[in-house]
Amino acid sequence: MIFWLLLLGIFTYLIVQRSVANITRTPVWILWLVMMTPAFVWTGWILLNGESAPIPPVLVLVPFILCPVLYWLLIQWGRPAKPASAEAQPATAEAAITPSVEKRPTLRPIDKQEESMLQNCFPWSVYYLQNIEYRPQALICRGQLRTSPEVAYETIRENVEGHFGNRFLVVFQEGLNGKPFFALVPNPQLQTVNNQSGSETVSRPGLAIGLLIVTILTSTLAGALFSGVPDDGSARLTLPLFLTGLPYAIALMAVLGTHELAHYLAARFYKIRATLPYFIPVPPTNFFPFGTFGAFIQMRSPVPNRKALFDIGIAGPLAGFFIAVPVLLWGLAHSTTVPLSDESGIFNFDSLRPSLLLPALLSKLALGNALTATDAIQLHPVAIAGYLGLIVTAINLTPVGQLDGGHIVHAMFGQRVGAAIGQVARLLVLALSLVQQEFLLWAILLFFIPVVDEPALNDVSELDNKRDLWGLFALSLLVMIILPAPQVVTRILF
């Protein structure tokens, strides 16, 4: 319990610092304390009364409702006052102007001559410029779009680069009034070039390989424990016993590695500077027995357009899914059935209840008549790896903020609609956790993730129909993985 509380505390602090530290004067530690209060209350109850004692509804609902409200009020209280001449803008629009980059240099004001040059970058037949607004981190250029978004962005970007070189990044966004505007933000890569710290600092193969090796060891140990090696010290862990966990480690690393490698290759295809996949090794414990927290990559340059955002976002979940399914089928075929009991659950690998829609279909396909309505499944370690792959795919496809699913809906529907979908998705997962209580922790964590995804440079141009269909397919996968199997389906299967 303390381990999970520590993990949640670190995760929450990083999210709070990244999302609101630059828009409010309220100390980050106070905001962190407010958002962690529900977890502190619930953990305190469990430590005092034991895990078997149910938490009173008042201790669940009151902190869950009041703390987000207090969090929002503290952010508003700490906001710096805006100049009277500045046009009022909601915080989400202000915070989302600058795409994700390594650093955000202070914008050097342009003089009258440069302002005239900037106006010449906007041909009236492409984008009729009406006014320029000066912001601390951007120059906002508003006007009327006269051609397609693709032509407008490429024309104006080329004109700005012709007059100002690589001094600015050109961002094209849709305003709250539905009209697209241009924002010129300082190019953070200028400092990188000036400091001669090129791309070799982005790709660190030594670190990536080292983390990979350590994660293979911790995952192999986890696989050995899943294979039945005692973890209480009653048996000596010899090399042969240790190697019994290798199939689990290989299967899990294949699923997670393929997921992140697909992100990496897609980013490189669009010439985006990105790190190699970094695995996170964790020694297996009773609280977290899987041997790894997963893997991640970091993109160190902006995403050029919504098409690239979509391709990078969807590449990982789909690639991981297409590896996880055959891994899970093989593992299920080598698993055994056990009588269904009160302890059976969707995360009890010794007595898995196949109640989720897609896992139930795959379980029946692999086990056939050996699996009945009164049976649970004792998962083979490889099946555990494949099952975790499905869960990781579902988590990443959740359409909230900077998760892969958030990138997908942002690319499909735009930044504002994507944020609205994220709000609805968080509430739906919370409602689902009332049926599948194992999802409660994930439902809570979703409320710590900002729903507004960072914009691409050209955040106005829409996707083609083919990508829209792939996006709907990806969201359908999410529903099939986490949705409880309807009774009509279970009656047909079992």
Residue 177: per-residue pLDDT: 81
Q: Would you give the end-to-end CA distance of the chain in angstroms?
A: 37
- pLDDT at position 167 over 80: yes
Residue 106: per-residue pLDDT: 52
Q: What is the per-residue pLDDT across 273-300, written as a single tens digit (0 to 9) for each?
A: 999 999 988 888 776 788 888 888 888 8
Residue 20: per-residue pLDDT: 67
User: Judging by DSSP bridges, how do beta strands 278-281 and 180-186 pair with one another?
Assistant: unpaired
**345 phi, psi to nearest 5 deg:** -160, 175
Residue 493: per-residue pLDDT: 74
Three-state DSSP state, 251: helix
Contact status, residue 107 vs residue 185, Cβ threshold 8 Å? yes
Q: What is the per-residue pLDDT across 239-256, written as a single tens digit (0 to 9) for each?
A: 777 788 899 999 999 999
Q: Tell me, what DSSP letter sits at residue 201?
A: G
Contact status, residue 291 vs residue 226, Cβ threshold 8 Å? no
Q: For residue 109, what pLDDT band results from cuts at 50, 70 and 90?
A: low
CATH code of 97-194, in short, is: 3.30.1360
Mean pLDDT along residues 199-206: 68
> What is the C-alpha to C-alpha distance for residues 342 and 277, in angstroms, rounded to an integer?
40
Residue 193: per-residue pLDDT: 47
Q: For residue 259, what pLDDT band results from cuts at 50, 70 and 90?
A: very high
> What is the C-alpha to C-alpha distance for residues 395 and 244, in angstroms, rounded to an integer?
29
Q: What is the per-residue pLDDT across 174-190, written as a single tens digit (0 to 9) for each?
A: 887 888 999 998 887 76
Q: For residue 51, what pLDDT band results from cuts at 50, 70 and 90?
A: low
Q: Tell me, what DSSP letter sits at residue 484?
A: B
What secondary structure does DSSP assign to 317-330, as a single string? HHHHHHHHHHHHHH
> What is the C-alpha to C-alpha distance for residues 156 and 483, in angstroms, rounded to an integer?
46
Residue 89: per-residue pLDDT: 43
- pLDDT at position 168 over 70: yes
Angle at 272 between CA 91 and CA 158, to 5 degrees: 80
> What is the C-alpha to C-alpha distance for residues 29 and 63, in angstroms, rounded to an integer?
18
Q: Which residue has the higher pLDDT, 460 or 29?
A: 460
- pLDDT at position 478 over 80: yes
Contact status, residue 168 vs residue 84, Cβ threshold 8 Å? no
Three-state DSSP state, 277: coil
Q: What is the per-residue pLDDT across 351-396, written as a single tens digit (0 to 9) for each?
A: 999 889 999 999 999 998 888 888 899 999 999 999 999 999 999 9
Mean pLDDT along residues 192-213: 69
Angle at 475 between CA 408 and CA 271, to 5 degrees: 25
| Residue 394 structure tokens | 């579902």
- pLDDT at position 77 over 80: yes
Cβ-based neighbour number of residue 194 at 10 Å: 8
Residue 198: per-residue pLDDT: 45
Q: Which residue has the higher pLDDT, 479 or 58?
A: 479
> What is the C-alpha to C-alpha distance for residues 187 and 125, in angstroms, rounded to an integer?
27
**179 phi, psi to nearest 5 deg:** -95, 135
Three-state DSSP state, 288: coil
**141 phi, psi to nearest 5 deg:** -115, 110
Q: What is the per-residue pLDDT across 204-221, written as a single tens digit (0 to 9) for each?
A: 888 889 999 999 999 999
Residue 86: per-residue pLDDT: 42
Residue 358: per-residue pLDDT: 94
Instruction: Please name every residue paired with 338 in a beta bridge, in sequence order, or none if there are none.
Output: 376
What secondary structure does DSSP assign to 323-377, as a single string? HHHHHHHHHHHT-EEEE--TT-BTT-TTSB---BHHHHHHHHHHHGGG--TTEEE
> What is the C-alpha to C-alpha distance for residues 464 and 107, in angstroms, rounded to an integer?
35
Residue 111: burial class (beta carbons within 10 Å; 0-12, 13-18, 19+): exposed
